[in-house]
Amino acid sequence: MAADSRVIAVDVGGTSIKAALVDRDLTAVHAVREPTRRVGGVADVDQIAELITALADTQPVAGVGVAVPGIVDDGTGIVRAAVNLGWTDVPLRDLLAARTGLPLLVHHDVRTGGLAEFTVGAAAGADNALFVAIGTGIAAAVRVDGHLLGAGGYAGEIGHVVVDPDGTLCTCGTRGCLETLAAAPAVARRYRERSGRSIVDAAEVVGLVADGDPAAVTVWDDAVGALATALTAAVTLLGPEIVVLGGGLAEAGEILVSPVREQLAKRLTFQRRPVVVRAELGQDAGRAGAALLGWRAASG
């Protein structure tokens, strides 16, 4: 295998930055992870450039793909807003390309994961697909007639579709967003409020749901109902053939996917009825998608 048949895939997060050398078959041959370095509370772009350069110094690479959270303009590589990183209007693609000298693309992290699921994962071959990442937040990647929608970075914010107008205040400033009922922190918080018990995360709630704990079942049913409501709107507007549920909460498997599938089916009438499945790539989706971006960058 020629050395330049590898790319660098980078996944930037508020807590850590992961980078890997990736083969054409999307296998990571070397991976590194570092805590996100901050200067005055702002994530340091130089750290990303240093990680890329360190990997590129081990062997020639064809290109680089970088996945970033927030509002990211995939076309220009400008991070319009990334609260967890402290960034506003950061021209990340141009900064990193100038500092590394490598062909490079910067895209939104969920759209990057969606690219992987649409290309080699659960929705491979579907021209119309929706990938929903349910974790600390909730966001979507949308493929319509073979095209991944970006809208200058603003497409896919399904987590801020209002599902309960009189509900809890969301961090975005609106009441009753999907994230206030179905994001992982909301599931854990709502269980603590309802039960009075101390738990760490949503994974514990999933276990309690499986055991038939009444408070857990109620909280889970609320999350499933909220997801079905938001997905009904998305299916009506976008007409996907397949809905792929990913992110940390989707690790629950059929305990999430099956009731969401059933609730969505009950709400649809004239709309296309999409298949609802769990993501195939799991925690590897971001890396695989960033690697695909690397190959795109290499091809110009």
Residue 118 resides in a domain:
no
User: Would you say residue 200 has pLDDT above 90?
Assistant: no
Give the CATH number for residue 197: 3.30.420.40
Q: Pick the residue with more confidence: 300 or 249?
A: 249
Predicted confidence at residue 1, as pLDDT, reads 42
Instruction: Supply the pLDDT for residue 5.
Output: 82
Percentage of the chain modeled with pLDDT above 70: 99
Same domain, 270 and 134: yes
Number of domains in the chain: 2
Segment 72-92 shows an average pLDDT of: 95
Q: Are residues 72 and 167 in the same domain?
A: no
**Same domain (yes/no): 199, 292:** no
Same domain? For 271 and 209 the reply is yes
Structural domain includes residue 121: no
Is residue 120 in a domain? Answer: no
Establish if 80 belongs to a structural domain: yes
Torsion of CA 25, 240, 275, 280, to 10 degrees: 20
- Hey, which residues does 10 pair with through a beta bridge? 19, 66
Q: Does residue 4 carry a pLDDT above 70?
A: no
| Residue 48 domain boundaries | 3-113+284-299
Structure tokens at 194: 């309802």
